[in-house]
Structure 1
Amino acid sequence: MGKAAVFLDRDGVINVEKDYVYTIDEFEFIEDSIEALKIIQDKGYALVVVTNQSGIARGYYTEEDFLKLTEWMDWCLIDRGVTLDGIYYCPHHPEKGIGKYKVDCNCRKPKAGLIFDAVKQLDIDLGRSVMVGDTVSDIECGKNAGIKRNYLVRSGHAISAEDEKKATGVYKDLMALAKDLADINGNGDMVIRRKRKPADH
């Protein structure tokens, strides 16, 4: 049986949503997001970041810029006891892309290519996995991959009532979700800590 994973969008879920963040100076972890990742990890889930980076396609920054920031972020998390199992990104855009990045690809969310790549490389069981994002494209990506539990957090983009209906649930931020997330015991079975309230968190 493959691993259960929590797939996470980056901007608006882990770090503060700003337009096209690509430098260390601009990058700011959302309050308690690192602690939330630690809680999720300790509950037995693999942590996998899946992020659209159309700023690369648009020429705002390079893949090298993104990778440099990603390495810094990764080490910040490791220093706090959090290990990301995978970081997958899409550098394309079908209309706004420049040169080789103007591609109607299979990896740009809401398409599920990033998740499918992670499944193959990390041996993930989608049936026991979760998607977390701040936009409806994240929710649709999870659904397109076959993930049954797809959550929105309010720490990034504004969420409409229509978007809420498409999600399994809506949380204030990643910490609220992490506390509510089920544990996975040694046999890989779900252990519900407490019943999730039907209302917003």
Structure 2
Amino acid sequence: ILLNGDSWFDILLADLAAAQAARPGLLGALALRRVPEADRYGTVRLKDGLLRAFEPRGAGKGPALINGGVYCFSRGIVDHLVEDGSLEAEVLPRLAADGRLAGIERAGFFLDIGVPGDFEAAQSLVPAQRRRPAIVFDRDGVLNLDHGHVGHPDRLDWTEGAIAAVRRVNEAGWYAFVATNQAGIAKGYYSEADYLALRAQMYRDLAAAGAHIDDERHCPTHPDGTVPRLAVRSDRRKPGPGMLLELKARWPVDWSRSAMIGDKDSDMRAAAAAGLDGILFTGGNLDLLVEQVLQSRGGAP
């Protein structure tokens, strides 16, 4: 993954990687942005998902596709680089002419600070764009079926629509968080390492669908635990709000538009204690519920 250092194009990087891997022989894929006025940018021509040509800056006016400055390349690109020259002006046009580059058009937030006016605007635009709502998912009983202290990858069963629900949150440009009680660690049913292995498996499953979790918090304590150091009361454990407040403090979240989706009363109480709306998941397709939640809060992609 290669990113231009003076621009920000808010897209799902997994989509770009999928485009690069979709056709044999491709050396890379570029994220493209349609702009209303292209006179200050070089433009590109796209046909059937492949980049056909690059036009120099100032070659045309009006709306056009431009290179958004986000790339996914295979290692083979190294053989085509020049020792002293420009990737954008020399290497990419040649590869496009040979049909070796894919392009995907996306409409995400785009900002290029290459001129003084846009650099000045970025001082307020960037913090505002980073401030976005979040969906906080409980884990067991929401993202995966709750078989009772699910602590190992071989006990992982996703709920219906869960992976699609996380991707929907990603596509909306919202943060996707997880806050989960893990009393099974305190009670000795599984270890912290087991929990982390299961989390890694879940993240791999999500990544295969182009989805991701931005942050996850877990509470391994329980007053009745058999592991002495974890047999304590903690306001991090739901219905305490600790994990939710940690997420709020860590990220620039628009808390007023955010929500927590849980399947237990303790989830709803934790959300209320953190000043967050709680949405009770009673089963069925999680993606449909998330779609409704986003639509009701102005966040449907």
Q: Same fold (TM over 0.5)?
A: yes
Tell me the equivalent position of 1:9: 138
- Alpha-carbon deviations, 1:46-104, whole Å to 9, x = none? 10000000000001111011011111111211121111010100000023352100111
Alignment CA distance shift 1:192-1:129 (3 Å): closer
Are 1:154 and 2:282 matched, yes or no?
Answer: yes
- Alpha-carbon deviations, 1:163-188, whole Å to 9, x = none? xxxxxxxxx4422212212359xxxx
Aligned-pair identity (%):
31
Gaps of 5+ in 2: 1-127
Tell me the equivalent position of 1:191: 298
Alignment of 1:53-132 (within 5 A): 53-132=182-261
Partner secondary structure for residue 88 of structure 1: strand
More relative contact order in 1 or in 2 (CA 8 Å, sep 6+)?
Answer: 1
Pick from 281, 287, 296: which aligns with 1:175?
287
TM-score calculated relative to the size of structure 2: 0.54
Tell me if structure 1 keeps the 8 A contact 2:260–2:271: yes
Please say which structure displays the higher CA radius of gyration: 2
Q: Which runs of 4+ in 1 moved over 3 A?
A: none
Tell me if structure 1 keeps the 8 A contact 2:186–2:227: yes
Give 1 or 2: higher strand fraction: 2
Task: Name the count of aligned residue pairs.
Answer: 171
* Cα offset, 1:28, TM superposition: 0.7
Tell me if structure 2 keeps the 8 A contact 1:57–1:101: yes
Gaps of 5+ in 1: 156-171, 185-189, 194-201
Partner secondary structure for residue 154 of structure 2: coil
Tell me if structure 2 keeps the 8 A contact 1:154–1:173: no
Structure 2 CA distance for aligned equivalents of residues 120 and 191 of structure 1: 23
Q: Cα RMSD over matched residues? A: 1.8
